[in-house]
């Protein structure tokens, strides 16, 4: 049981979705890698905006517009402080996927047949397919870091691979969305910088659990999603070291990102504005601001310690269940258990678990190359967050055993 004093009961009350029954059973939500639950403060902030603050941002001279603009830009400042970067280095996108596409599009004109892009077999499809398209459109070679048979990276081997390959770009995940394995990024980034490579880090899974200091990490680009950080869907964050960010080609065009428009040509504003065309997701940004406020009120060290203790407790219980194979690295993980039961289809087990109110993810988790590497068609994934409890784990394991009994 936990050794850390953590006000989990108070935290649970802040998340209304968690306090319900599914199929007559208390909800055990173990799908935070897909999307996190939202505290009431986030929901209230969005409701309040549409109830009494609704106005478009920027250029408006009336009170509502000026208030909305101020609140909107304050969240950019909060986000920059959260990651220890500059406000002008934060770009709002629709999600982490669009943020990666924005960078990929912005780099295309710099790349040709003489260049190489490195990814890894661990990546979410969102950090593979954009680079495949860039490779096809520019002739740049797309290669992958070597991966151990068990889905872990040999960091020394990877560093040597980077130095030998001398890529134009390394695109790498901070933590696997399927396995939960944490990537030891610092030596990889150091190796990339030694050969003048740009580095993009997919932080969709890592941002909440690891809260990276991006200035210290020294990557060129970092992407993450609001909805995986207690915020609303439809909003992503792109961080870029300003010089690199501002030299990217524009991604979309239209209003807001322009400086001057003539009938035959236009000029554009500097970053971040040149990447934020059209009316933005104002309520989403404000909701994300409320999520950051919520996180900032908590002690991140305590959150991380609680999550790790809870994960260890769950792993120790799961490993004792006969017929279960765990694919996650249990020693360096954000809190995700990827597993299968014998040769049973993961969809069947996930469906049975739902009957007991246990929500897990099943399938290839948008990581088909990783599944191929592991020799799998799919898995089950139970992903934990700081609002989960030891009781959640106990119900999950007990329900899993009941489901297995039905299958045997």
Interatomic CA distance for residues 8 and 299, integer angstroms: 13
Burial pattern 213-239, b for ≥16 Cβ within 10 A else e, equals: ebeebebbbbbbbbbbbbbbbebbbbb
Interatomic CA distance for residues 231 and 32, integer angstroms: 12
| Cα distances (angstroms) measured from residue 401 to each of 33, 263, 352, 363 | 23, 68, 11, 20
Q: For tokens 């108070």, what's the residue?
A: 10
The question of whether 366 is a catalytic residue gets the answer yes
Q: Find the largest Cα–Cα distance for the chain.
A: 71
Q: Where are the beta strands (DSSP E) in 145-271?
A: 169-173, 198-202, 221-225, 236-240, 258-261, 266-268
Give every strand in the sheet of 336-341, ordered side by side. 324-326, 336-341, 379-383, 361-363
Query: Could you give the 3-state DSSP secondary structure of residue 274?
Result: helix
Tokens for 384? Answer: 């934990």
**Do 182 and 175 contact (CB within 8 A), yes or no?**
yes
Give 117-163 as a DSSP string: EEE-TT--GGGTHHHHHHHHHH--EEEE----TTS---HHHHHHHHH
Please name the helix (run of DSSP H) or strand (run of DSSP E) that holds residue 324, with its range, or none.
strand 324-326
Question: How would you classify the pairing of strands 266-268 and 258-261?
Answer: antiparallel
Name the catalytic one among 158, 159, 366, 403.
366
Catalytic residues: 366
């Amino acid at each position: 049981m936990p050794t850390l004093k953590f006000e989990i009961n108070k935290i649970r009350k802040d998340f209304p979705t968690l306090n319900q029954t599914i199929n007559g059973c208390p909800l055990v939500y173990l799908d935070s890698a897909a999307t996190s639950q939202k505290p009431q403060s986030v929901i209230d902030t969005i409701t309040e905006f549409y109830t009494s603050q609704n106005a478009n941002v920027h250029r408006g001279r009336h009170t509502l517009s000026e208030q909305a603009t101020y609140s909107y830009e304050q969240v950019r400042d909060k986000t920059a402080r959260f990651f220890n970067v500059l406000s002008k280095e934060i770009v709002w996108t629709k999600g982490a996927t669009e943020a990666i596409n924005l960078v990929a599009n912005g780099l295309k004109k710099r790349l040709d047949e003489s260049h190489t892009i490195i990814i890894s077999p661990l990546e979410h499809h969102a950090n593979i397919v954009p680079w495949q398209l860039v490779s096809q459109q520019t002739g740049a070679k797309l290669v992958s870091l070597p991966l151990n048979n068990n889905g872990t990276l040999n960091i020394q081997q990877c560093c040597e691979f980077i130095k030998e390959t001398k890529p134009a770009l390394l695109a790498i995940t901070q933590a696997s969305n399927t396995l939960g394995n944490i990537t030891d990024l610092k030596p990889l980034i150091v190796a990339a910088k030694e050969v003048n490579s740009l580095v993009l880090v997919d932080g969709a899974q890592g941002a909440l659990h690891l809260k990276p200091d991006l200035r210290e990490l020294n990557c060129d680009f970092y992407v993450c999603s609001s909805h995986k950080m207690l915020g609303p869907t439809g909003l992503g964050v792109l961080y870029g070291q300003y010089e690199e960010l501002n030299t990217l080609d524009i991604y979309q065009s239209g209003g807001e990102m322009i400086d001057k428009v003539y009938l035959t040509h236009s000029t554009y504003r500097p970053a971040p504005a040149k990447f934020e065309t059209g009316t933005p997701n104002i309520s989403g940004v404000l909701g994300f601001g409320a999520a950051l406020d919520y996180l900032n009120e908590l002690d991140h060290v305590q959150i991380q310690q609680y999550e790790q203790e809870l994960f260890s407790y769950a792993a120790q219980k799961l490993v004792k269940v006969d017929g279960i194979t765990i694919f996650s690295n249990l020693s360096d993980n954000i809190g995700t258990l990827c597993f299968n039961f014998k040769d049973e289809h993961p969809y069947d087990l996930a469906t049975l678990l739902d009957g007991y109110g246990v929500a897990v993810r099943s399938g290839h988790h948008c990581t088909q190359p990783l599944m191929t590497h592991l020799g799998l068609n799919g898995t089950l994934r139970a992903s934990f967050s700081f609002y989960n409890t030891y009781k959640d784990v106990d119900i999950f394991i007990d329900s899993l055993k009941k489901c297995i009994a039905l299958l045997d």
